[in-house]
Amino acid sequence: MAESRQSIHGEWSSGMVFVLAATGSAVGLGNIWRFPYLVGENGGGAFVIVYLACILLVGLPIMMAEVMIGRRGKRSPINALKTVAREEGLSSQWKLLGWLGVLAGFLILSFYSVVGGWALYYALQALLNNFSGIEPTAASGMFGSLVGSPSLVLLWHTLFMIILVVIVAAGVRKGLQRAVTILMPLLFMILLVMVVYGMTTGGFGTALGFMFSPNFGDLTGASVLAALGQAFFTLSLGMGAIMVYGAYLPRTESIPVATGWIVGMDTLTAIIAGLAIFPVVFAVGMEPGAGPGLVFETLPVVFGGIPFGFILGLLFFVLLTVAAVTSGISLLEPAVAYVTEATAMSRAGATSAIAAAIWLLGIAAGLSLNAWADIRIIPGMDENIFGVLEFISNDIMLPLGGLLIALFAAWFMRLESVTDELGLDVASTGFRVWLLTTRFVAPAAVILVFLNALGLF
């Protein structure tokens, strides 16, 4: 049955397009700033070693499981899990796991689109050369004025969502595939240009030391948990995106090979991002900050005071926008795929309807940073709407989804079905390693991430 099943949404033209699309889903703001910063603060090269181990033992096995379920079901995550569960003699209520992923992607995109709007706004500021000679106080003021303005936040949030609608409404081949085959090479090209420039500054050696000098004395239990969390979240696991992209993967393509490429490219992108950003930061004697502070406050000052800063600043914020867009379309696609399967709506209509609902929730997230800053929607929890959406989706739904995917694939599916989809012999070393890590190692690690996020570990 799985052999002849076809996706009603279309398929990627090749395995490499799938790799680009899934890498685009994985590469986001976390790769651009969070991974390099974590490396520098948690033992440099020692952290990289731990992170790579986490990627191989947690990220890769769960990604293979998610792609496998998607391709076997050839539908949206909800219907793919329902179909596969029935074929395996299991309860169709496993579809609730698909609902969990789709809902998580829905919630994440509501606030992620707000941040994507910031990237668009800063790309325009770079184009207008508004970073030239800017001082730290003025840079902080620029970011504060953006986040503190309801009209600006909503305007750029809206523009970002419109971009996603245009791409996703066009379909798998004409929309998603065309976008990733243009945007992902552009992303890599911009990163490489920035790395080459970084090598001409006096801060490249300092950046290498900051990121890669092994310091096992700085490696703590918290560092390991940070590596685990980054390894899980950076690959877009548990949110339906990888599963629905897997549904569009031709059966002639190898899942182990494709996911290996995705993991490698995502990790390489994060490392290259550090080598692109930190040399220019160190060259002007500034300290690397974390999160929005680095991206939206420190870097404009850096770009405003270095040779070719206008070009470099424009390239960087275009890069940030591209990363946000490729992640955004993967968050929107699972819900759109389900609505087109479950209703008579056209793809364009389904995309517009889902995006409108996300846009409305995004308005609440955006306003919670300014006009609604004092509103609390969960009693006893000192988080605004933006923070609550992030906590529920990132800290609860994604780990739970990843854990259940691992359990479904490794414990409940028949071995014959799994080996058939993965293209591995049941007695092969590769399959045995996958089964061991997916049954025991990955679930244990995800539980640790879950407990740590909840402050229980």
| Residue range 94-101: mean pLDDT, rounded | 98
The answer to whether position 6 is within a domain reads no
Does the global pTM surpass 0.75?
yes
Q: 264 phi and psi, to 5 degrees?
A: -65, -45
Q: Residue 110's closest CA among 390, 434, 440, 413?
A: 390
The answer to whether position 9 is within a domain reads no
Helical spans, DSSP H, in 285-378: 292, 299-303, 309-342, 347-367
Tell how many helices (H) and how many strands (E) occur in the chain. Answer: 23, 0
SS3 27: coil
| Residue range 307-315: mean pLDDT, rounded | 93
The answer to whether position 4 is within a domain reads no
The answer to whether position 171 is within a domain reads yes
Q: How confident is the model at residue 2 (pLDDT cuts 50, 70, 90)?
A: low
Tokens found for residue 210? 């900051």
The answer to whether position 3 is within a domain reads no
Q: How confident is the model at residue 226 (pLDDT cuts 50, 70, 90)?
A: confident
The answer to whether position 8 is within a domain reads no
Instruction: Quote the percentage of the chain above a pLDDT of 90.
Output: 75
Tens-place pLDDT, residues 324-358: 999 999 999 999 999 999 999 999 999 999 999 99
pLDDT of residue 4: 66
DSSP 364-380: HHHHTTTTTTT--SSTT
The answer to whether position 194 is within a domain reads yes
CA dist 308 and 304 (Å) reads 9
Domain span holding position 406: 15-453
Q: Residue 104 pLDDT more than 60? A: yes
Q: 349 phi and psi, to 5 degrees?
A: -65, -45
Number of domains in the chain: 1
| Residue range 117-122: mean pLDDT, rounded | 97
**Domain harbouring 25, CATH code:** 1.20.1740
Tens-place pLDDT, residues 416-430: 999 999 999 999 999
pLDDT of residue 1: 52
The answer to whether position 2 is within a domain reads no
Q: 132 phi and psi, to 5 degrees?
A: -60, 120
pLDDT of residue 290: 58
- What value does the mean pLDDT of the chain take? 93
Instruction: Quote the percentage of the chain above a pLDDT of 70.
Output: 98
pLDDT of residue 291: 62
Tens-place pLDDT, residues 228-278: 888 888 898 999 999 999 999 999 999 999 999 999 999 999 899 889 988
